[in-house]
Amino acid sequence: MERSQINEILEESDRFIRSFGYILPPFAYWSVEEMRARTGADAGDIRANRLGWDITDYGQGRFDDLGLFLFTVRNGSAADLAAGRGMLYAEKIMISRDKQLSPMHRHNIKAEDIINRGGGSLVLELFTSAEDGSIDPSAEVVVATDGVVRRMQAGALLKLDPGESVTLMPGLWHAFWGEGGDVLIGEVSTVNDDLTDNVFRDPIGRFSTIIEDEKPRHLLVSDYDTWL
Ligand SMILES: [Fe+2]
């Protein structure tokens, strides 16, 4: 993706999120220089726990069809998770645009509640894992949705309207997209590690390759290792 496109998506997404009354934390608006100056000392966990902007086209260069906007608002640490106490949780705010696919994947560690916070409907395609972790094409899918357990056929589509959510346990395969409009999505989960805990069905990247055609408005999480 070109940096100019990312800058544009940052701005559009911020406007969309604010339209629902959700405001991102102050560090979202730090400039590159401010981020550089502050992530050394008092803002170390922003870098270490990979908080912040995350725009991905899954490396395929077709953001409108295959992509996701994410902002990691909070995230605990692998050390706490290993210790079994402390900050074991994470929160993201995301946007799936109308008919914009987030491709089929699962997580080894992370359980995640995916919440439709407003806008269009969110459609999820779901499969259970086979013993070897691959997609089981026939096993029933059982998920909790706001206190109601739903049993569905393999590959069934679960439609969440604003206010509705689903709990996806580790190993449950899922792909999702917006329908009838762009969707603001909340994610409340176990500690999140996007470098190691995404298993995609098809060979695909988690992050974008960026062409630097203008200055970044804000850094993405995937920029931290090279820019800070
Ligand atoms: Fe996921």
DSSP conformational letter for 15:
H
Task: Say how far apart CA 154 and CA 141 lie, in whole Å.
Answer: 6
**110-125 per-position pLDDT tens digit:** 999 999 999 999 999 9
Residue 38 CA neighbour count, 13 Å, CB half: 14
In whole angstroms, what is the distance from residue 87 CA to residue 90 CA? 8
DSSP 204-218: --SS---B-SS--SS
Cβ neighbours around 84 below 10 Å, total = 7
Cα 93 to middle of ligand 1, angstroms = 13
Which residues does the chain have with pLDDT short of 50?
Answer: none
Instruction: For residue 185, give every residue at least 6 positions away whose Cβ sits within 8 Å of its Cβ, in sequence order, or none.
Output: 93, 94, 95, 96, 114, 115, 116, 117, 122
Distance 107 CA to ligand 1 centre (A): 7
pLDDT in tens, 165-215: 999 999 999 999 999 999 999 999 999 998 889 999 998 888 888 999 999
- List all residues 6 or more positions away from 19 whose beta carbon is below 8 Å from its beta carbon: none
pLDDT at site 203: 85
How close is the Cα of 169 to the center of ligand 1, in Å?
A: 10
- pLDDT, position 40: 67
Query: Residue 216: its pLDDT value, please?
Result: 97
Beta bridge partners, 113, equal 167, 188
CA 20 to centroid of ligand 1, rounded, Å: 23
CA of 105 to the centre of ligand 1 (A): 6
CA atoms within 13 A on the CB side of 88: 9
Measured in angstroms, how far is the CA atom of residue 58 from the centroid of ligand 1? Answer: 13
Rounded to the nearest angstrom, the distance between the alpha carbon of 172 and the centre of ligand 1 is 9
Tell me how far the alpha carbon of residue 188 lies from the centroid of ligand 1, in angstroms.
Answer: 11
Count the neighbouring beta carbons within 10 Å of the beta carbon of residue 195. 11
Radius of gyration of the chain (CA): 17
Between the CA of 4 and the centroid of ligand 1 the distance, in Å, is 27
**Can you give the pLDDT at residue 83?**
96
| Per-residue pLDDT at 37 | 87
